[in-house]
Amino acid sequence: MQNEFVESRKSEFAELKSYIDSVKSSQGILMQTLQKAQDIFGYLPLEVQQFISKETNIPLADIYGVVTFYTQFTVEEKGKHKIGVCLGTACYVKGSQEIMDKLSEELNVKVGTTTEDRMFTLEATRCLGCCGLAPVMMIDDDVYGKMEPKRVHEILKKYRN
């Protein structure tokens, strides 16, 4: 019986297959293929890893090893909006943990996980390079500086609508 995920993502698998066919004859294609697959699917579930293994003849264990080693890859589906709270030193001393706690409470999720409705993924980040605005939070490409826990609710509202 065909897997439900594979059935529902046929066009994405076809796109990945044509990409693999185009690079197959080159050396060292695993990283670029995984990156492409993540761009297409948004994440790398087991079904996608199995497909890559079959199409490239690279053992699944090797693929899994690379996917779990590099933080740029994820095996879990992300939410529609990605929230990153900077826990770099400048932000941390200015209270970014409190921002994180408030988000966690508002969204009812732990850090590193996604809300049940798949709207938000909450993550901790390293220094975002704008320490003058500490504490800093990002939602997708929007930067929120000098954050305070009391602003969290209003800001989230914009993305919920």
Residues lying near ligand FES in the complex (CB under 6 A) are found at 86, 88-91, 127-128, 130-131, 134, 136
Cα distance between residue 43 and residue 61, in whole Å: 18
Half-sphere exposure at residue 119, Cβ-oriented, CA atoms within 13 angstroms: 11
Closest to 95 measured CA to CA, from 141, 157, 158, 151:
151
Closer residue to ligand FES (CB): 91 or 107? 91
- Count other C-beta atoms under 10 Å from residue 33's C-beta: 20
For the bound state, the minimum distance from the C-beta of residue 147 to ligand FES, rounded and expressed in Å, comes to 10
- Report, in Å, the least distance between residue 135 CB and ligand FES: 7
Using CB atoms, what's the residue nearest to ligand FES?
88
User: Minimum CB separation from ligand FES for residue 96, in Å?
Assistant: 7
Nearer to ligand FES, 90 or 139 (CB): 90
Tokens at residue 133, please? 């605005």
The backbone torsions φ and ψ at residue 121, rounded to the nearest 5 degrees and listed phi first, read -115, 130
Q: Which is nearer to ligand FES, 66 or 90 (CB)?
A: 90
